[in-house]
Structure 1
Amino acid sequence: MTKGLDSDRHTAWRAYIEASQRLFTRLEDDLRVASGLSFADYHVLVLLSEAPGQRLRMGELAGRLVFSPSRLTYQISSMQRRGLVTRAPCPDDGRGNEAVLTAAGLLTLREAAPHHLHSVRTHLMDDLDDAEVACLTRIFTRLGQRLTGANDTAATATAPGDS
Structure 2
Amino acid sequence: MTDTLLALSTDHCRITPLFADDARALAAITDETVTSQVHFLPAPFTEADARALIAGSGGGDVFHAVRDERGLDLNGVIGVHRRPGGEYEIGYWFAARVRGKGIATEAVRAVVEALAASRPGCSIVAECHPDNERSRALLRRIGFVSTGRAGKRPGRMLMAWRAAPAWRIDVC
Task: Give the TM-score of the pair, scaled to structure 2.
Answer: 0.25
Normalized per residue, the structure richer in helix is 1
**Structure with more of its chain in strand, by fraction:** 2
Structure of larger gyration radius = 1
Which fold has the larger relative contact order, with Cα–Cα distance below 8 Å and residues 6 or more apart in sequence?
Answer: 1
